[in-house]
Structure 1
Amino acid sequence: MTEQVTFHLEPDERPTHWYNIVADLPTPPAPPLHPGTHQPVGPDDLTALFPPELIEQEVTGERYVEIPEAVQEVYAQYRPAPLIRARKWEEKLGTKARIYVKYEGGSPAGSHKVNTAVPQAYYNKINGINRLTTETGAGQWGTALSYACSLYDMTCEVWQVGHSFDTKPQRRTLIEVFGGKVYRSPSQDTESGRAFEEGHPGSLGIAISEAVEVAAAAPDAKYALGSVLNHVLLHQTIIGQEAVKQLEKAGETGADIVIGCAGGGSNLAGLIFPFLRENLVEGKKARLVAVEPASCPTMTRGTFAYDFGDTAGLVPLMKMYTLGHDFVPSPIHAGGLRYHGMAPLVSHVVHEGYVEPVALAQDECFAAAVEFARTQGIVAAPESSHALAQAKREVLKANEEGTEPVIVIGLSGYGLLELGAFDSYLKGNLSGDSQLSDEELATSLSTVPVIEG
């Protein structure tokens, strides 16, 4: 009899609430600060950008937040996402480790981003907002928000990082298929964009500034962020909650190692926070690993300090690992991992020692993704390939030590619109993965503001 390798949940087993890690942290994270006064941000400071429900979720200390029925109905179209035992990859690696992949590529946008795009669009819609602005790196978030806005008959305007705009036309087209309007960032349509020369490769920090500037100036518009903020990470925790239950269905008592890629932090947090809850509350010992690109080493080489989330300094200061808000990363193909900072909540748990950060070069990551595709039949997004590469390292180490760990990998999306990058890798001319020198890092960090206290 063929052994089961894909694990789902019954309808009554699906999460009905998002999980808030703040409720279980021994030490609370530092509050965001107003960019002008450097005082803690209050709800009134956020009303120009977000509806009241999202502001409440941003600051709540409640352990669980109920998922609205309307959002659950949309989730039900593509969730629960499957947990897949990577048997063929295990055989290829010659390991007794048990590898499970939490695959988010089956969503309408092909990534985990829909998990937060839908509730963000929903909450704005019920508050009478019909226009959302946002940024996107590789394009997954812009695609997801455009899809969510189409569900609620809303306008979506997307500032896409210049390098991704130029090299990922299929992703741009998919955003437009869902009804979104795409601008190349930096653009000439905003003051923030005009500060840079035309043709600049852009960064997520610049694109955020442009989207925030437009939303703040328009009474009929709000801003939507695809990562970093607490409410975004909250929405993504359905990933890890499902995975915990699915592991039980697979006959496992828990995970030994949980690995996710990390750019802004939402995919990583969504996967690992429910496992971190088990560590904190139930005394389990899962190793939680965050993998970032070596060319944008926010957690492994950045500083833990207050910094702006955008280049122009329009949004609140956040206590996070940062490379400096003026940092422009090299144009690697994992566009979703090219952000100068890390989500404050993720930064906090890394700083407290609950999560282990690792930085990998993109050639190693693409090699793992190709091997995974040839054994499991799934082409992973360049972002997700970082988690696969680290998982392979863990497997080879386990083989040497004679251990049999249960490894859970967050595969945040598919790479079917990134085949140009895979083509470059297969031809041996993958570019853009320049290492950050100590001098460049020092220059970048010099722009981090000095906050007393």
Structure 2
Amino acid sequence: MTHQKKIYLEESEMPKQWYNLAPDLPTPMNPPLGPDGKPVTPEMLAPVFPMNLIEQEVSQERWIDIPEPIREILVQWRPSPLVRAYELEKALDTPAKIYYKNEGVSPAGSHKPNTAVAQAWYNKEFGIKKLTTETGAGQWGSALSFACAQLGGIECKVFMVKVSFDQKPFRKMMMETWGGKCISSPSNETQAGRDILAKYPDTPGSLGIAISEAIEEAVTDPKKETRYSLGSVLNHVMLHQTIIGLESQKQLAKVGIKNPDVVIGCCGGGSNFAGISFPYMYEKIHGANIQIIGVEPFSCPTLTKAPFIYDHGDVAKMTPLLAMNSLGHNFVPEPIHAGGLRYHGMSPLVSAALRDGLMEAQAIHQSECFEAGLLFSKTEGIIPAPETTHAIASTIREAKKAKEEGKEKVILFNFSGHGLMDLVGYNKYLNGNLHDHEYPESEIAKNLKELEDYPMPK
């Protein structure tokens, strides 16, 4: 062997703390607001989340300990390998060194179990018997079903966006294999679902609708033994994912790299992007010269076209108002195959990072992304999830730019998940049946009109 392909950490080297970006933001975060426009108190969130997770949600502590029982489950696949993409570099004839953090090695095939295990553990510790959630492409629903099975004694019910429910039947099968229950959303099982179906019987569904259904089921449990669990967007979810970037820092150090020049992740609600990038934002805040790029679909341009506003996280307006980039909670996306990137809003922490100039945003069409996914599959051998191909497409752009500039940059991206459950999308692309969508600005304006009387964040 002439070169080292994979960089590993010992299990004992797995981080013992998560990193919280909130206290280090140049501008303080705007608080969640209730219907009266006043800040939401932790007690007001108690019917939805257990108090131990609410404490993390509002925490201003920079470092938060990872409980040992959580680490004992994470060690099934963590630390995940950091991989040098030699064959991709060769195909691009680039002087750049490309590294990717392979989160596809988890049991569910993505980064999602990093927070699913944590959330299920904290809920069980609080005495919760059942979790409800939503899922787009099915990665999050699979991860939470897996986590609940690992911990035992906790049920899992997943409302899956209808278009993905139809496109990806094997995801439903994965959830059920782990003991979860998967329902197509909108459904007739909640009032929110019934209202949407009455008004839009042929709707493809959206994450905003599925969130409304999952929250409604949680808060209407007469025994109060059910809580809601979210796979992205919220602060505590971003927190749990930072184990990705923290591991990568230790791994790069093993080959003599203090910081990469470029860090890239795809963006839907923000979790895998935050996971890889937040530890490097800490370095950037303290003087490091790092370009950090969040990549999203043209058909869901939350970071690149949506304003930074207060909006609800769901269609039925059951969530508090969050200060975030939002296309409007009534946004219904085109049925692109990157189902995990079809959310109308962006994590408040990621939105704040964009506002404060800690990162930049790109939108890329799905045809370019699938082409990037095919090149990665042929060179590195792993078929990436459609979501992940957005990060790969951006990485390819940056590698080509490094060649044009004649610079030996170090590029790090998060390989957020494999695409073995997403082959229908690849098949459609290869057969010429996959088309690009650009969400019209007129539709964004129409969605945002309803929010004109909402308070504005600082």
Q: Distance in 1 between matches of 2:450 and 2:180?
A: 34
Tell me the alpha carbon deviations over residues 305-353 of structure 1, each in whole angstroms, 9 at most, x when there is no partner. Answer: 0000001100010000000000001010000000000000000000111
Partner of 1:242: 247
State the match for 1:184 in structure 2.
184
Q: Distance in 1 between matches of 2:104 and 2:255?
A: 21
Q: State the shift of 1:442 in Å.
A: 1.3
Q: Give SS of 2:37's match.
A: coil
**AA aligned opposite 2:271:** S
C-alpha contact (below 8 Å) 2:310/2:455 kept by paired residues: no
The answer for the alignment partner of 1:266 in structure 2 is 271
Give me the whole-angstrom Cα distance separating, in 2, the residues matched to 1:355 and 1:346.
9
Task: Give the letter for the 2:234 counterpart.
Answer: L
* 1:434 is aligned to 2:437: yes
Amino acid at match of 1:208: I
Aligned residue in 2 for 1:214: 217
The 8 Å contact of residues 325 and 447 in structure 1, kept in 2 or not, is answered as no
Give, in whole Å, the separation in 1 of the partners of 2:455 and 2:367.
41
1:109-150 CA-partner distances (Å, limit 9, x unpaired)? 100000000011001111111100000000000000001111
The residue type equivalent to 1:213 in the other structure is: E
Equivalence for 2:290: 286
Q: Distance in 2 between matches of 1:158 and 1:253?
A: 41
Q: Deviations over 1:34-91 (max 9, x none)?
A: 1x21111111011101111100000000011100100000011100111100000000
Task: Report how far residue 449 of structure 1 moved.
Answer: 4.9
Q: Secondary structure at the match of 1:196?
A: helix
For residues 327 and 247 of structure 1, do their structure 2 counterparts lie closer, same or farther at Cα, with a shift above 3 Å needed? same
Runs of 4+ aligned structure 1 residues displaced above 6 Å come to none
Name the counterpart of 1:275.
Answer: 280
The count of corresponding residues between Structure 1 and Structure 2 is 450
Q: Write the letter of the residue equivalent to 2:284.
A: N
Could you list the per-position Cα deviations for residues 379-426 of structure 1 after superposition, in whole angstroms to 9, with x for gaps in the alignment? 110000000000111111111111111000111000000011111111
State which of 436, 445, 449 in structure 2 corresponds to 1:446: 449
What is the rounded CA distance, in whole Å, between the counterparts of 1:441 and 1:126 in structure 2? 42
RMSD over aligned Cα, in angstroms?
Answer: 1.0
- Structure 2 residues not aligned, in runs of 5+: none
Deviations 1:189-225 (A, max 9, x none): 1111112233420000000000000001111200000
- Identity among equivalent positions (%) equals 53
2:336 matched residue in structure 1: 332
Match of 1:41 in 2: 40
- Contact 2:300/2:439 (<8 A) preserved: yes
- In structure 2, what residue type is equivalent to 1:54? L
Alignment-mate amino acid for residue 215 of structure 1: A
Aligned-pair CA distance for 1:230: 0.2
> In the TM superposition, what whole-angstrom CA distance separates every residue of 1:215-265 from its partner, at most 9, and x where no partner exists?
011112000000000000000000000011111112223100000000000
Rounded to whole Å, the distance in 2 between the matches of 1:273 and 1:59 is: 17
2:63 corresponds in structure 1 to 64
The letter of the residue matching 1:253 is K
What TM-score do you get using the length of structure 2 for normalisation? 0.97
Question: How is 1:19-168 mapped onto 2 (pairs within 5 angstroms)?
Answer: 19-34=19-34, 36-153=35-152, 154-168=154-168
Structure 2 contact 266–296 (Cα < 8 Å) conserved = yes
What SS does the corresponding residue of 1:18 show, helix, strand or coil? strand
1:346 alignment partner in structure 2: 350
Of the three residues 318, 323, 328, the one matched with 1:314 is: 318
Contact 1:46 1:55 in 2 (8 A): yes
